[in-house]
Chains A and B, each alone.
Chain A
Amino acid sequence: MLCDDCGRNEAVVHITQIGPDGKIEKNLCEECAAAYGEFLTPQQRHRNVSMNDFLKGIFSNAPDQEGRRLAGQDELVCPSCGMSYRDFQQTGKIGCAECYRTFRPQLEPLLRRIHGSSVHRGKIPHRTGGTLELKHEIGMLRQQLQESVAQEEFEKAAEYRDKIRALEKELLQKKGGEEYVNE
């Protein structure tokens, strides 16, 4: 069979294109097939599995602890950018900041599998971070306090305690901080 496009070479690739005009089927030679996109060219076929492919696999094969939830999660759609959970499973990429809120229950087990954790412990932006920066600092100090108590370094522990109290006071004065301190 000759190539449908150039009509000169032997057709070796069969492609099916689904577009706005419906389904188009073509038989192409290697040269013409290359023009249809990189994914058809032979070099690509030899390429190893990319990091992205690998992640995609992980995302789409997430074990579902409850079989019920799986049925619902495919239809989940982000209200902000319109990305569905299925899109994410296919591309491995999140669509927007809102998506993280929408898919949080599905994402958290995934994050634990990728990072071993699902709680951020690094830098916090000053403006959009809210009172988190203070809370974070207090949390860190509490941890240090416990460590120094465990090692019986009570002078250091007292220092940490005073620092924590000062920060808690500061937090109380800020909006939204009350509930945290009272916890």
Chain B
Amino acid sequence: MSMNDLLCKNDLAWLKACGQDHDVVLASRIRLARNLRQQPFPNRADFSQLSEVLAEMDGVLPEIQKAIGQTFDRADMERLTPLQREVLIEKQLISGNLIKNPQYRAAYVSADRCISIMINEEDHLRIQCMAPGLDLEKPLKMASRLDDLVESRLDIAFDEKMGYLTSCPTNLGTGLRASVLLHLPGLVFTRNVSSIINVSPQLGLAVRSLYGDEKEQVGCLFQISNQLTLGFSERELIDNLKSAVNEIVAHERRARKALALYMKERLEDEVWRAYGILSYARLLSEKEVLELLSKVRLGIDLKLIRGVSPDCYSDILIGGRTSFLQNLAENENLSKNETDRLRAQNVRKGLERHRMNPEEHP
């Protein structure tokens, strides 16, 4: 595994269409925030202190690789070009916060891309573990194991009453942020998403649209995560999120069923039009791809489209992003037209790669 693969390949194991409820839940993610006891938090640390934190973590990395049985790519933010940093953000392997000040910021990304450890982001350590479908247990177990490995070597900032100490008081306690990526075309088309967004704060959860803003939700992708971190155990926080997600999944399936029943022709038309455009268009914008791809995925999940594997979704989701394409072309000054042409080409290839015999469809 090399840096080049990390940037140029678009296969992310945690976005594969498998696992529990994968027709609605695309991926699950656990993030633990941790800080070293002796050093000031990154926002108040100077360069020498930040470099010490990084050096300490670099010292633990070989042990982590050995224990997990995977090699990690070490992405040094200072050495990456701005475009390369953007690619990692598009792949959701690092956060925008990590590259605001790239000095002494780094990320360790596992070979299967399911683990990403950010150093000197808002906290000294941000351990992120991902899994496809609705599965918060496995990532939590992995994150906790990584936390144990680090803790066995370094002193972690902890208070008996306040728990794990974090730079922002909103993460205090468990330092845990569990989030789930949802694809909700049914609820978007039947205009029911806003009620879910409005109810979630009462359950201590936050829902946000992954792409776009409040007014416009591009690609029907939503992220739901716990807001509270203190006063509950990790188990309780996850169970609360899971029960809300199960509820949303049930509503989404009901909405899809209603669409298939009452708007069958319109739905089929939308799905096949989207498929047609993605298959043959020569110029595609980023937003257009996200919107059409959502419909194609819906068509595959409803078994309207049978000749393509649902895995084309993650392939095209990442492979259709602007920074990814520019990095692939090794030209960050591509014109919009050139980018859109490359994008359309990449989308067609993506669909081609995942075409299969209709009988094979599960």
Contacts and interface: CB of A to CB of B under 8 A. Distances in A.
Given A81-B40, A81-B44, A132-B160, A122 B169 contact: no
B124 to A, nearest CB: 10
A129 B161 CA distance: 11
Interface string A122-136: 111111111010000
Contact of A115 (B144, B166, B167, B228): B228
Interface stretch (B22-30, B110-118, B147-155, B264-272): B147-155
B35 interface: yes
B166 A117 contact: no
B66 to A, nearest CB: 19
B87 interface: no
B165 A115 contact: no
In the complex, which range does the number of interface residues on chain A fall in?
Answer: 35 or more
A83 B41 CA distance: 11
Interface of B is mostly: loop
- For chain B, give the interface size range: 35 or more
Given A97-B37, A127-B152, A128-B156, A55 B231 contact: no
A127 B174 contact: no
Contact of B231 (A92, A101, A121): A121
Interface of B: 35, 37, 39-41, 43-44, 122, 144, 147-148, 151-152, 155-170, 172-174, 176, 228-234, 236-237
19 contacts: A55-B170, A93-B41, A93-B44, A94-B169, A95-B43, A96-B39, A100-B165, A107-B162, A116-B231, A118-B230, A119-B161, A119-B231, A120-B159, A120-B230, A122-B174, A122-B233, A123-B147, A126-B151, A127-B151
Interface of A: 55, 59, 80-81, 83, 91-97, 100-101, 104, 107, 110-111, 114-130, 132
